[in-house]
Amino acid sequence: MSNKYYNKLVRSITSTVILVSIAPLIFTALVSGYFFHTAYKSRTIAYLKELVKEHKRTIDSFLWEKVADINVVSKSYTFETLNNEESLQELLKILQEEHKGVFVDLGFVNDKGIQSAYAGPFKLKQASYADAEWFTEAMKSKFYISDVFLGLRGLPHFIVAVKKEWEGKQWILRSTIDFVYFNKLVENIQIGKTGLAFIVNKKGAFQTKPRTGVKINNSNYLDLINNDTSKSLEAPPNNSDFYFLQKADEDNVIVVISEDQDNNRFINVITTLKYGDWILIYRQDIADAFENLYRARNFAVSIFIIGSLSIIFMAFIISRRVVGRIERIDQEKNMMNQQVIETGKLASIGELAAGIAHEINNPVAIMVEEAGWIEDLLTEEEFKDGANLEEFKRALKQINTQGKRCKEITYKLLSFARKTDSRIQEIQINDLIKEIVELSGQRAKYSNINVIMDLADNMPFVRLSPSEMQQVLLNIINNAFDAMEKTGGKFEIKTYTDDNYVAIDLSDNGPGIPEANLSRIFDPFFTTKPVGKGTGLGLSICYGIINKIGGKLDVKSIIGKGTTFTIKIPVEKEINKTQI
């Protein structure tokens, strides 16, 4: 079978193994990854929301507390007391003591916007707030908290104001809240490296100073704010850079994802403050907010990649190994098939040969007898003076000779086909070889062939028929001698043990056997000898004999260098034991 077939097998096994092992891995990774991701994300977001809500409450309560404080002051004291600078100083002192310097100053402003009384670090008595935005706003409602502004003093601050009526006129008691103190409230909201909070008003102006410089694409946030934020925050329009994550809940908190100019993605938790006047934004880099999640994800991904790679690697190795084994088994199977075919061929030919030999023997016997009869008749008187008498005798002798040759051939054919007539004995192969070499010694001498024996000591006994083994050895030796007859040469017999076999190497340095003939030398009737010299049965008989006792007969030949026949005979274990 071709390499293509095995490569295809490797591919199909590899892909099956990879598919079967990685598919569930991917599925598990995706499912658990998805659940873990969503669970962790929603937990993180819930935590951030909780944090923001808490701060919203803190800030709101801070602001309304301050309003309440001023309200208490305005209700507790008479118009005269409040409009008196000295008593106002006294009140401010009390407030500052109670609230650790949150209140910076205290002022009393009439309905024309003129501050008639002032207590605080700045000289703002008689200052006019008539045009100030906070003043107009404050005049509209009972309580007012302004946005942060620079005001007359040129420092960021905001004002808490309470409206009071006195003798038909409206007065405002106002106090400035320390911006630094307020800022700290918001600044304290910090998680991770990038988490920060800030407050903007409806116009997008910062009400607190963010810890780091935050560039806000104001319009995006304003999109959120410009809706009626006192009721609820709405989803931003589709064209904004925001990606809406969670809608406003009962506390009016929304979560959006934003992206700045540098493509950094942020998670924003946004809620309203001060009845929708201000917006508290908590912003954190997504990578930072979900750092643990991403770390876990990266870890899982790397495990997945390493696992997949090792699976692929193993699948490849395993399939290579499996296919390699299959290839070997196939080869063995092919070889075995070859042997079975060889054996079967020999067996059927043997049967055929036996039949033919027997059928031929009878007519040949008759022919020889008839020739003999003619010979007998020729001795009679009437033929004695025949001119061709000698010629007749010669012809009859020839018939007789050729009849005998036929007999010889059929004899060989039959011994090739013979089942078994030889008794099996335990023999020492070395002794047998010595005998045979002695037997062919004469011929070797005439053909100028040097026979070398290299026999291993302690060869185990083997069970076989000595006469059959003799036949095999003689056949191979004779073939070798025939090959070297003209040139002379070297013939070497070597014995050794090989696993559970006794092996005999018979090597000559004759002309060798051509490749084309090598595959046919065990075929019955195949011979390279001239007609009448060889039957072509010798090696096939040898093959049959060796095969019958479970041995192997191999041949290797190199043109010009020589030929080596290797006989391997199995050693039975019990015989080995008796030898020990």
CA distances (Å), origin 444, targets 447, 474, 505, 508, 534? 5, 12, 18, 12, 19
Nearer to other proteins, 417 or 513 (CB): 417
Closest distance between other proteins and the C-beta of residue 530, in Å? 25
Residue number with CB closer to other proteins (124 or 368)? 368
Q: Does 417 bind other proteins (CB under 8 A)?
A: yes
Supply the minimum distance, in Å, between the C-beta of residue 407 and other proteins.
6
Q: Name the phi and psi angles at 132, rounded to 5.
A: -70, 140
CB of 375 to other proteins, least distance (A): 9
CB atoms within 10 A of CB 516: 7
To other proteins, the closest distance from the beta carbon of 361 in angstroms equals 4
Contact between 440 and 484 under an 8 Å Cβ cutoff? The reply is: no
CA distance 499 to 571: 9
The distance of closest approach from Cβ of residue 471 to other proteins in the complex, given in angstroms and rounded to an integer, is 15
Distance CA(468)–CA(47), nearest Å, equals 97
Least Å distance between CB 405 and other proteins? 11
Show contacts with other proteins in window 376-395 (CB under 8 A): 376
Q: Is 410 in the site for other proteins (CB under 8 A)?
A: yes
Encoded one letter per residue, x for contact with other proteins by CB under 8 A and - for no contact, window 420-449 reads -x----------------------------
Q: Which is nearer to other proteins, 281 or 364 (CB)?
A: 364
DSSP SS3 for 551: coil
Q: Hey, which residues does 109 pair with through a beta bridge? A: 115, 172
335-374 binders of other proteins (CB under 8 A): 354, 357-358, 361-362, 364-370, 372-373
Residues in the chain: 580
Q: Residues touching other proteins: how many (CB under 8 A)?
A: 24
Contact indicator for 512, 557 with CB cutoff of 8 Å:
yes
Q: Are strands 489-498 and 449-455 parallel, antiparallel or unpaired?
A: parallel
Minimum Å gap between C-beta 479 and other proteins is 23
Measure the CA–CA gap between 133 and 126, rounded to whole angstroms. Answer: 17
Q: Are 147 and 137 in contact (CB under 8 A)?
A: no
Residue closer to other proteins by CB (options 113, 372) is: 372
Stretch that binds other proteins, among 54-62, 267-275, 324-332, 414-422 (CB under 8 A): 414-422
Q: How far is CA 62 from CA 69, 95, 145, 423, in A?
A: 10, 14, 11, 120
d(CA 386, CA 190): 145
- Cβ nearer to other proteins, comparing 55 with 412: 412
By beta-carbon proximity to other proteins, the closer residue of 359 and 431 is 359
Nearest distance in Å: CB 402, other proteins: 11
Question: Residue 570 pairs with which residues in a beta bridge?
Answer: 501
Residues that bind other proteins (CB under 8 A): 354, 357-358, 361-362, 364-370, 372-373, 376, 403-404, 407, 410-411, 414-415, 417, 421
